[in-house]
Amino acid sequence: MKHPTSPRVVALVGPQGVGKTTLLESLLRVTGASPLRAPQGNGTASGRTMTVELAAATTEFLDERWTFIDCPGAPEFSQEARHALMICDAALVVCDAGPERAAALAPLFHFLDTRQIPHLLFLNALDESGASVRALLESLQAVSARPLVLREIPLREGERMVGVVDLVSERAWGTTAEHEAALIPLPESHRPLEEAARRQMLERLADQDDSLLEQLIEDVVPPPGVLYEQLARALREDRLVPVFIGSAERGLGLLRLLKGLRHEVPAVEETRTRLGISASGGVMVQPFKIWYLPHVGKQSLARIWRGTVADGSTLGGSRVSGVLQPHGARHTPISVASVGEVAILGRVDAAHTGDRAELDGARRVTDWPAAPPPVHQVAISAEKRSDDVKLPGALARLVEEDPSLSVDQDPDTQRLLLGGQGELHLREALERLGTRMRVPVVEHPLPIPYRETIRQHGSHHARYKRQSGGHGQFGDVVVDVRPLPRGQGFAFHSAVVGGAVPRQYIPAVEEGVLEGLRRGPLGFSVVDVAVTLTGGTYHSVDSSDQAFRTAARLAMAEALPRLEPVLLEPILRVEIHVPREATARAQRLVTGRRGQLLSFEANLELPGWEIITAYLPQAELKGFIVELRSSSAGLGYYVARHDHYAELMGRHAERVVSHQPMAAR
Ligand SMILES: Nc1nc2c(ncn2[C@@H]2O[C@H](COP(=O)(O)OP(=O)(O)O)[C@@H](O)[C@H]2O)c(=O)[nH]1
Ligand SMILES: [Mg+2]
């Protein structure tokens, strides 16, 4: 078969801590490329080793080029990984035998399966776990819609893994003194295991291939060449998931893995067809990650689907200023990036994550995955007053870099709210705001949109009268104020008869009433009240809109404190998604935070996961995601929306009212 010359792109994805970053470094080492990190492994300045951003690196294996993209595994940063999956030729799902891996993989497999992205599985760290590959595979199969087909079994000496046995060629690979991976004789002790595993692989394959099934029934086994070909086709058509095994750290199974990738991962031409991108036409690139760097400006990490891009090319209406080949955080300038490659394009202002940019514009890709709604928010303002005007622009760039962040403005306080996927996610974002965007910010308590209402009904008379020189001010109203059912908001009527308040002043009375409701006796805006103007008097010279507005406002200010004001707190309807093992803990979290459980049911999209629906006071959402994650192996998340307001009394209410700033009371 003819091997493609343009690089193939493989995204390394999987739960956090399974060895993706280690695997990338090992693949680079095995193929003779320079490492991404210093050998001492001195992480970043903050000392973290957790991957929070995509890192791409290109290498060569047997004269073919490969670009591997290391993706973050933590759910907080999963949108990054989804973006890389959208442009790769295949995903390499990495997993180990750690606890709760199946639950962690369920959302990822669901994404790959529904989007039909070809993917392979690498079971890592088998060197020390001594885990049963079969048991591990069984637990993972429960969360994959495609059959997981084991292609290798471990070669073990006692508990120790010393190599792998390829089930197609029936050959064993192990380490020798001279070679990291060398063909070694298959020990007789492994024969029965090998034969059983091979049989299982063939049966899985025959499930999808009638001619193979017939051959198996007749005890004919096709030659390895034919089997490799069938396995490759099945992966490209996303009908099954080949499973490779080994150890990233000890370099076990990596050569076999690379050979598997070489033979089976689709080339860019096939990926274009899968994604519905026509082979003909001008240059087309698709950015999947954007950065803004001080002094450098906007940089887009993009896959080139058609044509070539050089320094100075025009794309999406902007001029490309600089083309770089990424290698982790070190980038090398190149003269031109060609079809299939992943490159960093400088200063393409029109670039937008996910859009397919062409010479004269960009086309929005409609199935680009939407970012999950935020589960954590902070209220912020610029540290320096003089930066106030820069903050909205800086936040817009931050969201452009990472669409799983979001910016809102609190309608009550006008404060800017930055939302994200977790505490760490937001901490990273705020740090970038200060360093990369050069707008340091300070945090404020998250505003909660409390409201208040009344529980009594009453009538009130108020008069506004001023006599100062020339002509004075005179307004006089009688209002009837009564509570409305929850959620009804506000109603105003006039029941004035005989022109006691002339018709032209009635709109001013309504305005004055609304002004009086803006801040009630407890310090919050007053809702769910009906106000009826029942009478009043006027003065033919001194009455005015202004005077009636003031009289109405006074009437409300005087009436409301006597009508048993009560605090209303916002209640959210939350849908909490957790692996089944964490359901009971998540329910306790809800009830411990004054929440009310409504239902729970199996999650039909994520096998082994459940959905809890509950009412939760918005005030209790603070830190909720942190506790939810810590009680669900880091996996839980929720979707919340405002549902209703509920009366709040007792010490909770007292605390809210006493924490109001003095000016507000
Ligand atoms: N024993 C063993 N440990 C490994 C292996 N691969 C990775 N690790 C360790 O697992 C931890 C997490 O690895 P890392 O590559 O950062 O995981 P990532 O979060 O998936 O990128 C590190 O301490 C690695 O040294 C392996 O093959 N065997
Ligand atoms: Mg990593």
Q: What is the pLDDT of residue 222?
A: 87
User: Residues with Cβ within 6 A of ligand 1?
Assistant: 16-22, 49, 51, 73, 124-125, 127-128, 247-249
- Mean pLDDT of all residues in 431-446: 94
Q: What pLDDT, in 10s, does the model give residues 394-417?
A: 999 999 999 999 999 999 999 999
Given a cut of 90, whether residue 388 has pLDDT beyond it is: yes
Q: What is the pLDDT of residue 130?
A: 74
Q: From edge to edge, which strands make up the β-sheet containing 529-537?
A: 458-466, 473-483, 529-537, 490-494
**Three-state secondary-structure class, residue 25:** helix
Non-local (6+) Cβ contacts of 176 within 8 A are 182, 184
- Mean pLDDT of all residues in 75-83: 96
Tell me which of 76, 121, 249 to substitute to probe ligand 1's pocket, judged by most ligand atoms within 8 Å of the beta carbon: 249
Tokens of residue 148, six digits: 């997981």
**Three-state secondary-structure class, residue 327:** strand
Question: Which atom of ligand 1 is the closest one to the Cα of 16?
Answer: 19
- Of all protein residues, the one whose alpha carbon is nearest to atom 28 of ligand 1 is 125
Helix axis angle for 191-206 and 210-217, nearest 10°, is 140
Tell me the residue type at 425: H
Q: What is the pLDDT of residue 158?
A: 83
Q: What is the pLDDT of residue 157?
A: 86
CA of 18 to the centre of ligand 1 (A): 5
* Confidence class for position 665, pLDDT limits 50, 70, 90: very low
CA of 22 to the centre of ligand 1 (A): 6
Q: What is the pLDDT of residue 38?
A: 55
Q: What is the pLDDT of residue 377?
A: 96
Q: What pLDDT, in 10s, does the model give residues 265-274?
A: 999 999 999 9
How many Å apart are CA 143 and CA 462, to the nearest integer?
69
> Is the CB of residue 69 less than 8 Å from the CB of residue 55?
yes
What are the residue ranges of helices labelled H in 497-582?
506-518, 545-559
- Of all protein residues, the one whose alpha carbon is nearest to atom 14 of ligand 1 is 19
Q: What pLDDT, in 10s, does the model give residues 31-65?
A: 999 999 854 443 443 444 678 889 999 999 999 99
- Of all protein residues, the one whose alpha carbon is nearest to atom 12 of ligand 1 is 17
Nearest to 236 by CA among 279, 201, 270: 270
Q: What is the pLDDT of residue 137?
A: 96
CA of 26 to the centre of ligand 1 (A): 11
- Mean pLDDT of all residues in 626-641: 96
CB atoms within 5 A of ion ligand 2 belong to 20-21, 51
Q: Which of 33-47, 138-152, 319-333, 479-493 is predicted least confidently? A: 33-47
Based on the number of CB atoms within 10 Å of its own CB, is 200 exposed (0-12), middle (13-18) or buried (19 or more)? middle
> Partners of 301 in the beta sheet?
289, 344
Q: What is the pLDDT of residue 45?
A: 39
Given a cut of 70, whether residue 662 has pLDDT beyond it is: no
Given a cut of 80, whether residue 470 has pLDDT beyond it is: no
CA of 339 to the centre of ligand 1 (A): 33
CA of 180 to the centre of ligand 2 (A): 24
How many Å apart are CA 358 and CA 349, to the nearest integer?
13
- Mean pLDDT of all residues in 68-76: 96
- Of all protein residues, the one whose alpha carbon is nearest to atom 7 of ligand 1 is 19
Given a cut of 90, whether residue 24 has pLDDT beyond it is: yes
Give the closest ligand to the alpha carbon of residue 131: 1
Q: How far is CA 398 from CA 41, 406, 650, in A?
A: 28, 9, 42
Q: What is the pLDDT of residue 42?
A: 39
Long-range contacts of 582-586 (CB under 8 A, 24+ apart): 582/631, 582/632, 582/633, 582/635, 582/636, 583/610, 583/612, 585/631, 585/632, 586/612, 586/628, 586/631, 586/632, 586/636
CA of 209 to the centre of ligand 2 (A): 37
Element spanning 474, H or E: strand 473-483
Mean residue pLDDT across the chain? 93
Q: What is the pLDDT of residue 178?
A: 66
- The domains found in the chain, sorted by start residue, are 8-273 (3.40.50.300), 278-363 (2.40.30.10), 376-436 (3.30.70.870), 451-563 (3.30.230.10), 568-658 (3.30.70.240)
Given a cut of 60, whether residue 94 has pLDDT beyond it is: yes
- Of all protein residues, the one whose alpha carbon is nearest to atom 9 of ligand 1 is 19
Question: Which atom of ligand 1 is the closest one to the Cα of 25?
Answer: 15
Q: What is the pLDDT of residue 177?
A: 65
What's this model's pTM, rounded to 2 decimal places? 0.93
Q: What pLDDT, in 10s, does the model give residues 335-370?
A: 999 999 999 999 999 899 999 999 888 888 889 999
> Is the CB of residue 361 less than 8 Å from the CB of residue 424?
no
Q: What pLDDT, in 10s, does the model give residues 522-567?
A: 999 999 999 999 999 999 999 999 999 999 999 999 999 999 999 9
> Is the CB of residue 104 less than 8 Å from the CB of residue 74?
no
Tell me which of 22, 250, 252 to substitute to probe ligand 1's pocket, judged by most ligand atoms within 8 Å of the beta carbon: 22
* Confidence class for position 659, pLDDT limits 50, 70, 90: confident
CA of 125 to the centre of ligand 1 (A): 7
- Mean pLDDT of all residues in 118-145: 92
> Partners of 599 in the beta sheet?
613
Q: What is the pLDDT of residue 182?
A: 81
Q: Where are the beta strands (DSSP E) in 241-375?
A: 241-245, 284-293, 297-306, 309-310, 314-315, 318-319, 323-327, 330-333, 336-337, 342-346, 356-358, 361-363
Given a cut of 80, whether residue 239 has pLDDT beyond it is: yes
How many Å apart are CA 100 and CA 115, to the nearest integer?
24
